[in-house]
Structure 1
Amino acid sequence: MTEPWLQDACSLVGAFRAREISPVEAVQAVLDAVDADGELNAVCHVDAEKALAAARIADVDRPFGGVPFAVKELEPVEGWPYPRGSRLLEGSTGPFTTVHVERIRDRGGAIPVVQTTSSEFGLVGYTSTKLHGTTRNPWNPALTPGGSSGGTAAAVAGGLVPIGTGTDGGGSIRIPAGYAGLVGIKTSFRTIPFAPFAQIEPLHSTVGCLSRSVRDTARWLDVANGAHPRDPFSLPRVEGFEAGLGSHDLAGLRVAVLPDFGGAVVHPDVVAAIEDAAEALIAAAGMRRIDVDFAVPDMAAVWSGASLPTMWHGMHAYWPQIRELLTDEVAALMARSEAFTIADAAAVDPLRKQLNESFADLFESVDLVLAATNPDDPYAAEGPGPTRVGEVDVEGLGNTGRLTMGMNITGVPAVSVPAGLSPRGMPIGMQIVGPRHSDALLLSVAALFERERPWPLVAPSARPA
């Protein structure tokens, strides 16, 4: 068995170029690790034959030349299964490959090897479905790696694959990154195209990666960003995310430290970890802490109000006959979408405008916000979402969404980085949030924090005993 690569993807490219390891060996290591895994349940499809063939001719001079990567099952790859975590779509196959995956494969030279699990249609913050079963956290397999990109998070942190794709429509990259001790960025809206067949409404979702290092994420953006004619919202290409790491003058930047991001119930242990990490980062960068009053409007109402009509359009022809095929949470959302009215839809836009104004006011007062990624340690892998944080009753997954959804609704970027471990030994994520189009700045801040507070690149369980 070939040992899996447990450093970051950029170092693997360096090892290829130094001829310390070959792309074929790296791909075989992924295949062996996935085959040997009997615990994480992070992978739902393996394309061994094509991956090994691609590895034999890999161009290691490309940014990710020869690097094996995972693709979350919400992103189609032509010819691969495309069930989106649902028994309703079991047996379907991808009709095309997304521009995102194409760019990482063709521009970047990386090799898609495995498909990773998602929550059903990406609608739930943990990864347990009737189709694939339960995906588990490599830091503690009794607990969830989060969702909806839980499979990629578990695979990358668990040592199965060096890097993989994620999607983030309400926190689905950042939440798993926080729970699994990884780097996860939700970019400014449509930095990476959502194409072909670009999603027009709701305007929440972004695509990106979950990685072990800031430079991996920066290089990923270098490869994947840029406008595409099939996504009318996609942004012009920006150069130099990786080259620009550490080049920003951070001294004097105004920073608000808001562990609860103005409304979530956050466990005191998480608050303490965020405060400690923020203090270290602010001191290292010479930034200024600014106290602000910030309370967010009801983000869950905006997010669900914008999403429910899309759900209804996609599944109403089969409802309620399909109820038994769906997870309880998705069935409940379908029932809500059935009752959704024109008046409900009309109420969404004013709330969205209010939220956008709140964020605009915030970023007139400060340059950056530091906040928790998740309110507490991860909960049971099988779910459901938590109803208590410490001694306080909460609204389940909606409480977590208060930390993450606002960035999706307003389009601002946020990167989650590991900020330490909880008393139970689980990763705690810290979000670095900025105004729209500050992605490069956020990555520079994250890189400084990475140098000041290095984190384990994989979970302890990924390393040989």
Structure 2
Amino acid sequence: MPSDQALLRSTACAIVDRLNSGEVTPLDLLDALERRIAEVDGKTNALPILCFDRARASAKALMQKPPGERGLLAGLPVPIKDLTDVAGVKTTQGSPIFKDTIAKQSDIVVELLESNGAVVYAKSNTPEFGAGAHTFNEVFGATRNPWDPSRSASGSSGGSAVALATGTAWLAHGTDMGGSLRNPASFCGVVGLRPSIGRVPHSPAFKIDRNLTVHGPMARNVEDIALMLDAMSGEHPADPLSLPRLPASFLSAARSGKKPKRVAYSPDFGITPVDPEVAAITRKAASRFAEAGVIVEEAHPDLREAHECFHVLRAFDFAITKAELLRTKREYLKPEVIWNIEEGLKLSVEKLERAEAQRIALAMRTLEFFKTYDLLLSPATIVAPFPIENRYVAECAGKKFDNYVEWLGIVYAITLACCPALSLPCGFTASGLPVGLQMVAAPRGEAPLLAGARILEDILGVRDTTPIDPRPAPQ
């Protein structure tokens, strides 16, 4: 059997091949992960909830089937974000209110992953209720960035991103409302993909057609993220927004070599400040598409309503999902969550009407933009990883933000436009911190998005920068 290091450094696609050939077993992988977690997770706090007994029972049951009948992932271990239920496992949502809650039933997305051969062995850390792009909470504490433990891993899928970056996961589950798959991927040097609405089914909660938040995959490279998207996607009767599985796999799309003809780059979408170093790194990365014969131009759709629209729709979402907690458990909620709920409870029907109309207008203009451009590129985050003691980014390039989410405009504008988007590692700052390039396609355009990202990933040569051992904090 390969050594732990050889296994941990392998791609998910390669591990699945080894599982199908019988070279390794799911139990071998769980043993290697358990040793790696013991070695590194105390330095980063990515996976605070472990369920190896459950995982080994699942692995043994899966191994009763012939190798070719164990699903797309064939027994590959996968951690689930601690906002999402896994039957028999603690789901705290990063909140003291739910610190002892054991899920009775798994979310649809977990059931789908397990039916496709995933073995769940851990829950990844998240901010309270996923609120804010910085992974810390009062249940488990902060998740540290392995590139510099004095820095944030971002969020809200920060635990998943750090697990990938440190070799305690090959693939990881996350969710994304305002960049929660893309921001931590950018900060940690991995890939995070926000799929189109309905691409990944999940259990409805609070509102049958909630669609700001989607579930999606995280991985260390584009092919691996395509593999996980294949294992997560498909129609489910319990999720009325879910989309049928496509005839061709996303992995085959990633490997197709199909090039975009024309792409656009924008450092700011005309709506946000951006750190000059981040802008320079992402612009340089985007320009390298020209090496594949792709036309690269500076342009962006008109996204001028993004801040007002997202503020209203996010607040409404918090009101319908958390108002009861505000009434009964206020003392346990962090200030940012209280603020968001109260903002939602103050909304009038007129404000909601305006926000929904703004979203339609923004989405329609973006769709028109993609008649000219195949992909839209930008920074995935407007700053490099920030000090872990800061709760959020309060200002950038001399601009002070009005609230704790405004710095995320460059990603939540794409959420509003209903587009699939991913963060691709594209370089490092002078101090050695990762920077991600946001790559966006037209709605339901995951296949061309993955194909284009795979081509640029090859050009940039960043595929093997993770996993890493957590680095010591600067003196």
Query: Fold conserved (TM > 0.5)?
Result: yes
SS in 2 for 1:43: coil
Partner of 1:359: 366
From 15, 39, 43, give the equivalent of 1:39: 43
What letter corresponds to residue 350 of structure 1 in structure 2? A
**Residues 315-374 of structure 1, C-alpha deviations (whole Å, 9 max, x = no match):** 334435533311221122123233233333232122212212331232233221111100
Alignment-derived partner of residue 89 in structure 1? 98
Q: Once the two structures are superposed, what CA deviation does each residue of 1:176-228 show, in whole Å capped at 9, x if it has no partner?
A: 11111111111111111123558534421111111011111111122221111
Instruction: Provide closer, same or farther for how the CA distance between residues 118 and 199 of structure 1 changes in structure 2, counting only shifts above 3 A.
Output: farther
Q: Evaluate the alpha carbon distance shift between residue 331 and residue 416 of structure 1 in structure 2; reply closer, same or farther with a 3 A threshold.
A: same
Equivalent in the alignment of 1:128:
136
Distance (Å, rounded) in 2 between the aligned partners of 1:142 and 1:435 = 37
Q: Which one-letter code corresponds to 1:33 in the other structure?
A: R
What is the CA-CA distance between 1:396 and the residue it aligns to?
A: 5.9
Aligned equivalent of 2:321: 314
Matches within 5 A, 1:22-171: 22-36=25-39, 37-59=41-63, 60-61=67-68, 62-107=71-116, 109-171=117-179
Name the CA shift for 1:168/1:422 in 2 (closer, same or farther; >3 Å). Answer: same
Counterpart-to-counterpart distance in 1, 2:198 and 2:89: 25
The one-letter code sitting in structure 2 at the alignment partner of 1:102 is E
| 2:10 aligned residue | 7
Of residues 408, 413, 418, the one that matches 2:420 is: 413
The offset of 1:111, in angstroms, is 0.6
What is aligned with 1:222? 230
Give matches, 1:179-194, under 5 Å: 179-194=187-202
1:307–1:402: structure 2 CA closer, same or farther, 3 Å change rule? closer
The answer (yes or no) to whether the contact 1:46–1:114 under 8 Å persists in 2 is yes
Residues 388/312 of structure 1: CA separation in 2 closer, same or farther (3 Å cut)? closer
Residue 422 (1) aligns with residue 429 (2): yes
Question: In percent, how many aligned pairs have the same letter?
Answer: 27
Could you report, residue by residue, the CA deviation over 1:11-32 in whole angstroms, capped at 9, with x for unpaired residues? 2223334554432121012222
Task: Pick which of 392-401 and 425-434 moved more.
Answer: 392-401
2:185–2:423 CA contact under 8 A, matched in 1: yes
Structure 1, unmatched stretches of 5+, are: none
Q: Measure how far apart 1:395 and its partner are.
A: 4.5
Q: Give the drift of 1:401.
A: 1.9
Deviations 1:409-463 (CA, angstroms, capped at 9, x unpaired): 2211111110011111111100111111211001011111122222234253259
Q: Match of 2:331, SS?
A: helix
Q: Which of 291, 294, 319 is residue 287 of structure 1 equivalent to? A: 294
CA–CA separation in structure 1 for the residues paired with 2:297 and 2:288: 15
Helix, strand or coil: the match of 2:450?
helix
For residue 247 of structure 1, what is the aligned residue in structure 2? 256
Distance 1:155 1:148 in 2: 13
Please point out which of 466, 470, 473 is paired with 1:458: 466
TM-score (norm 2): 0.90
Deviation digits for residues 156-179 of structure 1, max 9, x if unmatched? Answer: 112112111000111110111111
RMSD, aligned α-carbons = 2.3
Q: Secondary structure at the match of 1:165?
A: strand
Contact 2:164 2:467 in 1 (8 A): no
Q: Retained in 1: the 8 A contact 2:258–2:448?
A: no
CA distance in structure 1 between the partners assigned to 2:15 and 2:375 by the alignment: 32
> Structure 2 CA distance, aligned partners of 1:96 and 1:199?
19
Do the aligned residues in 1 keep the contact of 2:127 with 2:137 (CA within 8 Å)?
yes
Q: TM-score, normalised by structure 1?
A: 0.92
For residue 120 of structure 1, what is the amino acid of its counterpart?
A: E
1:303 is aligned with what amino acid? F
Compute the displacement of 1:2 (Å): 5.2
Asked if residue 276 in structure 1 is aligned to residue 284 in structure 2, the reply is yes
Stretch of structure 1 that moved more, 355-364 or 163-172: 355-364
**Partner secondary structure for residue 244 of structure 1:** helix
Q: 1:14 to 1:206 in 2, by over 3 A?
A: same
Aligned residue number for residue 257 of structure 1: 265
- Matched-pair contact (CA < 8 Å) for 1:28–1:52: no
How far off is 1:270 after superposition? Answer: 1.1
Q: CA deviation at 1:49?
A: 0.9
CA separation in 1, counterparts of 2:228 and 2:328?
A: 42
Q: Could you tell me whether the CA contact under 8 Å between 1:119 and 1:127 is conserved in 2?
A: yes
For residues 336-355 of structure 1, the aligned pairs below 5 Å read: 336-355=343-362
Cα-to-partner distance string for 1:8-53 (whole Å, 9 max, x where unaligned): 2112223334554432121012222223321211113111112122
How far apart, CA to CA, are the structure 1 residues paired with 2:170 and 2:389?
A: 25
Question: Which piece of structure 1 moves more, 307-316 or 122-131?
Answer: 307-316
